[in-house]
Amino acid sequence: MEIFAAYLHFISILAFAGLLAAECALCNEHLQPGHVRLLARIDAAYIAAAVLVLSSGLLLLLGYERHVWAMLTQPVFWTKFGIFVALGAVAVYPSLQFQRWNRAIAKGQERILTTRDIRRTRRVILVELALFAIVPLLAAWLARGAQPSAIRP
């Protein structure tokens, strides 16, 4: 069962990263109203993947980690968790923007996709990608005992 939980965690991380990259690729200056609905669907899947990453990670930690207390006392673990929470907080803006754009398009409003809004939303998505890029480094550091000497060659 532990193998299944680890597999689920790994696959959900890949989905999370892929969906975030898809949002970044689609949200650009050439964004058309027809793509906004797709962006909203990708974002919903991204949120689902984030929930799966968190729940499978907690399952691994609480269900299979032999040294839960040791893990919970590691500052690297809490930094990794904090970055994941920050990812969730930062992700709110693009999600709300996609919903606003979809509502406006459904009402038949023209010219709702301003270059300024698209660029701002894309920058926020790039911040998410940058934050996400730190998580594997922390995970590798944590897997090696989270000691400063663990990152030396």
CA 143, CA 103: separation in Å to the nearest integer?
A: 45
Can you give the pLDDT at residue 65? 65
- CA-based angle 60:64:69, to the nearest 5? 90
Which pLDDT value is given to residue 150?
46
Nearest to 21 by CA among 146, 140, 128, 118: 128
Q: What is the pLDDT along the chain (153 residues), one digit of tens a residue?
A: 788 988 999 999 999 999 999 999 999 999 888 899 999 999 999 999 999 999 998 888 888 766 777 778 888 989 999 999 999 999 999 999 999 999 998 888 766 788 999 999 999 999 999 999 999 899 888 877 765 444 444
**Is residue 95 a contact partner of residue 125, using CB atoms and an 8 Å limit?**
no
Q: List the one residue out of 149, 153, 151, 152 whose CA is nearest residue 137.
A: 151
Task: Kindly list the domain boundaries of the chain, sorted by start residue.
Answer: 2-151
Integer Cα distance of 130 and 137 in angstroms = 12
User: What is d(CA 144, CA 74) in angstroms, rounded to the nearest whole number?
Assistant: 12
Measured in whole angstroms, how far is the alpha carbon of residue 22 from the centre of its chain?
Answer: 12
Q: Indicate the angle between helix axes 92-106 and 75-90, nearest 10 degrees.
A: 20
